[in-house]
Amino acid sequence: MSWTIAVGVKQVPDDDEVGIDPDTGRLDRASAPAVMNPPDREALEAALTIRDQVGGEVIAVTMGPPNAKTVLEQAVAMGCDDAVLVTDRAFAGSDTWPTSLTLARTAEALEADVVVCGEETTDSSTGQVPPGIAAHNGWAQLTYVEGVDARPEEDRLAARRDVEGGHELVAAELPVVVAVAYGEFDPRPAGLHRKIYAENDFEPTQWTAEDLEIKEEVGLDVSPTSVGGMETVDPVDRKGEVVDETDDLAEVLTEVSA
C-alpha cells in the first residue's frame, strides 16, 4: 500500500521582515523577502507524517511565478520526494476559484490520494483554497486538522478536527483534501544532504495552464471577485504609557472598571 500525497505550498512576503515605508509610515510588503507561507511548512510535516504511516510519495506543488521554485527546494530539503511548479502568465489575477481549480487539476494529474494544505496563507488569508480544491474534484475535505491517522486498509484517512467548542474525529474516503490547523504540526528540520541535493541538483517538474488544459478557465476573467478599492485604516490611537508601579496600574484599572 502506498499513497501519493500532494502538498500545496505558496510563496509569500515574510511577515517578520515587512518594513515600514518611510514616506507613508505603513507596512511595505513589496520589499519584504519571499518565504514559504509558514502554515505550509506544517502542511509538509503533516504530509510527511502520513507518508511515515502508509508509505508512498510526497510531492510539493506550488502555483506561482518561476522564482517560487525556491519554496519547492525547501520542501524537497525537508523530505519531499518530488515537486511541481505550475507557472503561466495566464494565471495572473486569479482569485481562489481558479487557483483551487489549478491545484485540483494538478492533484488529478498526479493521481493524488491526499492533498495537504496549510490553514491559510499569510498574504491572502482566505483558507478557501483547500475546500475549493476538494469541491472542484468532488473529493472529501478535512479542514482545521490537528492530527492524522491513515487507514489504508479502509482506503480512508481519519483526522482529528478542531471544531466550534470541541473536537471531532472524521474519516474521509480517498482522495481527500486536508487543511491542517496552524500550530499543530512541528515541521521537521531539513537534513543536510537533502538540502544540498535540493539546492544543487533538484529541478521541479514544470506545468503550464495548457498542460493542465485549463487555459480558458483561469486568470482574471474567470475570477468571480475583484478588488473594488483599498482604504487605509488609521491605526488605533493608544496612549502607549508605561507605568513603573503596580499601584499606578491598579488605579487605572479601578477607574476603567468603575
Ligand X SMILES: Nc1ncnc2c1ncn2[C@@H]1O[C@H](COP(=O)(O)O)[C@@H](O)[C@H]1O
Ligand Y SMILES: Cc1cc2nc3c(=O)[nH]c(=O)nc-3n(C[C@H](O)[C@H](O)[C@H](O)COP(=O)(O)OP(=O)(O)OC[C@H]3O[C@@H](n4cnc5c(N)ncnc54)[C@H](O)[C@@H]3O)c2cc1C
Question: Which residues would be at the binding site for ligand X (CB under 6 A)?
Answer: 8-10, 37, 39-40, 43, 61-64, 96, 99, 103, 117-118, 120-121, 124-130
Give the footprint of another protein on residues 132-161 (CB under 8 A). 132, 134-136, 139-144, 158, 161
Q: Quick one: which of 91, 35, 63 has its CA closest to 204?
A: 63
Nearer CB in complex with ligand Y: 39/98: 39
Q: At what angle do helices 129-137 and 96-109 cross, to 10 degrees?
A: 60
Residue 85's binding partner among another protein, ligand Y, ligand X, none (Cβ under 5 to 8 angstroms by kind) is none
Q: Segment near another protein (CB under 8 A), from 50-58, 71-79, 117-125, 196-204?
A: 117-125
Asked if residues 8 and 56 have their Cβ atoms less than 8 Å apart, the reply is no
Residue 45 parent element (H or E): helix 38-54
Q: Does 122 bind ligand Y (CB under 6 A)?
A: yes
Asked if residues 67 and 34 have their Cβ atoms less than 8 Å apart, the reply is yes
Q: Does 39 bind ligand Y (CB under 6 A)?
A: yes
Q: Does 77 bind another protein (CB under 8 A)?
A: no
Give the footprint of another protein on residues 182-241 (CB under 8 A). 182-184, 216, 221, 224-233, 235-236, 238-241
Q: Grid coordinates standing for 33? A: 523577502
Nearer CB in complex with ligand X: 79/130: 130
Q: How far is the CB of 119 from ligand Y (least distance, A)?
A: 6
Q: Does 92 bind another protein (CB under 8 A)?
A: no
Asked if residues 72 and 65 have their Cβ atoms less than 8 Å apart, the reply is no
Residue 38's binding partner among ligand Y, ligand X, another protein, none (Cβ under 5 to 8 angstroms by kind) is ligand Y
Cβ contacts of residue 32 below 8 Å, gap of 6+? 13, 14, 15, 17, 18, 19
Cβ contacts of residue 83 below 8 Å, gap of 6+? 59, 60, 61, 62, 72, 73, 75, 76, 202, 204, 205
**Residue window 92-121: x/- pattern of binding to ligand Y, with contact defined by CB under 6 A:** ---------------------------xx-
Q: How far is the CB of 120 from ligand Y (least distance, A)?
A: 5
Q: Does 22 bind another protein (CB under 8 A)?
A: no
Residue 180 parent element (H or E): strand 176-180
Q: How far is the CB of 217 from another protein (least distance, A)?
A: 9
Q: Grid coordinates standing for 166? A: 470541541
Q: Which amino acid is at 175?
A: P
Q: Which residues contact ligand Y (rule: CB under 6 A)?
A: 38-39, 119-120, 122, 125, 182
